[in-house]
Chain A
Amino acid sequence: MELFTEGDPIADTRAPAGPIDKRWETRRFEAKLVNPANRRKMTVIVVGTGLAGGSAAATLAEQGYHVRSYCYQDSPRRAHSIAAQGGINAAKNYRNDGDSVHRLFYDTVKGGDFRSRESNVHRLAEVSVNIIDQCVAQGVPFAREYGGLLDTRSFGGAQVQRTFYARGQTGQQLLLGAYQALERQIGLGNVEMNARHEMLELVVVDGKARGIVVRDLVTGEISTEMADAVVLASGGYGNVFYLSTNAKGCNVTATWRAHRKGAYFANPCYTQIHPTCIPVSGDHQSKLTLMSESLRNDGRVWVPKAKGDDRNPRDIPEDERDYYLERIYPSFGNLVPRDIASRAAKNVCDEGRGVGPTKLGVYLDFADAIDRLGRKAIEAKYGNLFEMYERITGEDPYEVPMRIYPAVHYTMGGLWVDYDLQSSIPGLFVIGEANFSDHGANRLGASALMQGLADGYFVLPTTIANYLASGPLEKVDASHPAAVEARADVEDRIQRLLAVNGDRTVDSFHRELGQIMWEHCGMERSDAGLRKAIGEIRALRDQFWQRVKVSGTGEELNQSLEKAGRVADFFELAELMCIDALHREESCGGHFRAEHQTPDGEAQRDDDRFAYVAAWEFTATGEPSVLHKEDLKFEYVHPTQRSYK
């Protein structure tokens, strides 16, 4: 059976023409506005309360719209943006080190291995400076210098210090800023907050997104909520790998359900494997923990020169160590982008030079930095990360080098959106990690927080008005046949999951799916491996629907049922990821195909054939998806072989 068919190309028709630094200004001027008196009459649903969803819900409410916000956690403050550690990029050039909007734009397009849209990335860089202003005004306690001004540090893929941070908890502090702005609007009655609610279906009426079906996770009650527009800010899908740095609840359901209703899914195979995570310790492992990329500012990555050298790392003399990143990439050293650092770690472990009990690990060593700066200075910069490492591993990283290994961390793919962040379904907007837009095939460190807040605070509130101003939309309520059908589908699916009553738990299926994905659709992919994975995923999905055991009922708090629905969607996504990875016969960023590498093992792009966004259209369960290509044009940053040497 063929795996996919090819349909008509698509294009982003929203980005204005003209000089790149004027496009966002032009779009803002050309976008239609909604009169403040009319905004009160319009309802916008926002799914997810992370940096993108929280900031969007707060800002839309400030503008006067009626907002309904949903999250599966018990409070909007707990969305997984909270776990981002290292920092947020902004082209402030406070360091006077040569930074500019254009340089951030350039670094991001290059870092993404020339697979992102120039217009979007430039806008991101422009807006980055406003984000820092906004967050400081909200009381986000960024790190400061003794003079009272903001401190910055370096991150991978850049030679300037443009990363603002709040110790190792930048995501937490930025999210709490957005959360507090959101709570203010909740208190004022402008946002109706629905915590412990999960979106299970999108309602599309006459081709437009008009509502969602949600399940109250406490009572199990299913309800249909209608609106003038729907915004998905439901994050990424890294948990398809089971083990990832995502929170346990992170899932693809909201975006996958929208995909099944007609929203194109773009570049699903672009997955970011983060180089610095704590290695897996055993089969019981339920998640992986990131050690911030900021550690690579002062930590040096190395493995023994000799294979199988299992001496205590402190007993291995300098000249028998291989500081391989510094050796291979002298100009960026330990601060090469994530995809490159991850692959290099895999390569040295494949050579048999890995360290630790599983041999799947490399050292991240702070001995030199402690000698140079003193233990106190290192404590001040990274104290909480060092403590976290010690709690998890039982080892003291001030005394012995950390052991790290790559892990799934972020997904660059997501629902396809145009320059207005609108999906292929009118009225459905997608922001933050849930969309595909700004990072190409590889995201630079400290750019996720920047994009989430750019989308939520500044971009969406402008562009959604253009859509809403084209109304008024016809009034529809939950009794519309499309809404009734969506709700019936949700109820039917829950009953089907509960009815199987088989002999395997949801987690056991999820773990097995994750192993297939990590093996064949992880750091290195090949034609044969991906084909094998597609077969295995289909077989396992059939097993899932015959053998899964979900306890309890649908009318109560039922965490096993919640997981079952999410894993069922991961199965469908996993297959599409493999098909996307299989069709992209080149290597770019986080997508590394074994067949396509340069003689020295770097990713070998094929711009003639693959300089496009792959946007997939759902047809029917089990039927081939349709591929729509959006050609990428590079007018300002000329694609070259990325070099960090």
Chain B
Amino acid sequence: MNLTLRIWRQKGPEDKGRMVTYPVDDVSPDMSFLEMLDVLNERLILAGEDPVAFDHDCREGICGMCGLMINGDAHGPQRGTTACQLHMRQFTDGETIDIEPWRASAFPVIKDLVVNRGALDKIIAAGGYITAPTGSAPEAHSTPVAKANADAAFESAACIGCGACVAACPNGSGMLFTAAKLTQLSLLPQGQPERYTRVIGMVDAHDEAGFGGCTNAGECTPACPKGIPLNTIGRLNRDYLQATAKGAGNTPGS
């Protein structure tokens, strides 16, 4: 396959950035999208040009490190697939492909296609956990968990923290990410004691980090490589409402 790539090049945070066109020939349909970029970079290096910086690590769709806007779609055209798992057989010979970084005010560009997603970690640090210091755990079977709840908790926990939901959202909102973690933890008995302080803490951190608000645009779920459903945000809203009504869960007996 022969392709034309139009790639966002930006030297650093202060640079304005621009789209640059690169032809790439002899692409095998069995290559992954990132392997296709590897081929381009090898060529750029030998030509004395700066290779395209992009984030990637596991290349098997689980670490969440890669993230590219491909023809305007987060992670590209194939549903439920990260950019690293996208293969060139999804494209046609002669196609022009636009490649851009995640664009959101909470994710400043570092260089080319690499952005800073540290804001997602801040949301987790603000409550996305169960307080269970090492050594304090009771015997695992002392609290059974209904299979339906365990399975649903798993579905939400499958989030890989890539930020595609934020990139796809017209508001740059991180609500699907936040709601996925909240849903996992609030479905489990171990997560109940901190349920309402957690939701307040995480939503506050979300807003402080510069993410936009959720207006139910619904662009996030189709972009999510793990298919986190939109109704997790409904669960977040319900918990948030209850939490504010209860004074952040600090009222005994609430």
Contact = CB atoms under 8 A, between A and B. Distances in A.
Contacts of B185: 139
A138 B87 contact: no
Contacts of A59: 133-134
Contacts of B80: 387
B215 interface: no
Given A458-B134, A559-B53, A92 B140 contact: yes
B6 interface: no
Nearest to A457: B134
Interface in B121-169: 121, 124-126, 128-141, 143-147, 150-151, 153-154, 157-158, 160-161
A195 B114 CA distance: 14
Nearest to B61: A388
B3 interface: no
B238 interface: no
B85 A388 contact: yes
B188 interface: yes
Interface residues of B, number: 81
Contact of B45 (A149, A176, A195, A551): A551
Interface stretch (B29-37, B92-100, B228-236, B239-247): B29-37
Contacts of B208: none
Contact of B116 (A74, A83, A180): A74
Nearest to A185: B125
B118 A75 contact: yes
Nearest to B186: A139
A91 B190 CA distance: 23
A150 B60 contact: no
B101 to A, nearest CB: 13
A149 B144 contact: yes
A147 B144 contact: yes
Contacts of B9: none
Contacts of A461: 134
Given A387-B80, A394-B87, A503-B46, A133 B129 contact: no
Given A391-B85, A505-B42, A180 B129 contact: yes
Contact of A150 (B35, B48, B56, B140): B140
B154 A141 contact: yes
A503 B116 CA distance: 33
A528 interface: no
Interface stretch (A166-174, A252-260, A583-591): A166-174
Interface string A238-250: 0000000101110
A287 interface: yes
Given A139-B184, A284-B28, A551-B45, A247 B147 contact: no
Contacts of B42: 505, 507-508
Nearest to B59: A287
B130 A133 contact: no
Given A55-B134, A133-B140, A286 B35 contact: yes
A54 to B, nearest CB: 12
Nearest to B114: A557
Given A77-B161, A285-B35, A557-B111, A184 B65 contact: no
B132 to A, nearest CB: 4
B154 to A, nearest CB: 4
A184 B31 contact: no
Nearest to B146: A148
A55 B132 CA distance: 12
Contacts of B160: 172
A567 to B, nearest CB: 14
A74 B129 contact: no
Interface in A106-145: 130, 132-134, 136-139, 141-145
Contact of A282 (B28, B46, B118, B135): B28
A549 B46 contact: yes
B51 interface: yes
B132 A181 contact: yes
A336 B126 CA distance: 45
A179 interface: yes
Given A73-B65, A136-B190, A505-B42, A187 B126 contact: yes
B57 A249 contact: yes
Contact of A286 (B11, B38, B161): B38
B38 A394 contact: no
Interface string A500-511: 000101011000
Contacts of B184: 139, 141
A247 B65 CA distance: 11
A153 interface: no
A141 B188 contact: yes
Contacts of B41: 560
A78 interface: yes
Interface in B56-86: 56-65, 78, 80-81, 85-86
Interface string A543-578: 000000101100011011000000000000000000
Interface of B: 11-12, 28, 30-32, 34-35, 38-39, 41-42, 44-46, 48-51, 53, 55-65, 78, 80-81, 85-87, 89, 110-111, 114, 116-118, 120-121, 124-126, 128-141, 143-147, 150-151, 153-154, 157-158, 160-161, 184-185, 188, 190-191
9 contacts: A133-B139, A138-B132, A141-B188, A144-B144, A146-B147, A503-B46, A505-B45, A557-B111, A560-B41
Q: Give me the 10 closest cross-chain CB pairs, A-B, nearest first.
A: A148-B144, A187-B125, A180-B129, A137-B137, A137-B132, A141-B154, A133-B137, A183-B125, A247-B57, A141-B153
Given A150-B141, A557-B111, 13 more contacts: A75-B161, A181-B132, A181-B134, A183-B121, A245-B60, A247-B59, A249-B57, A284-B38, A392-B87, A394-B30, A551-B48, A557-B110, A559-B51
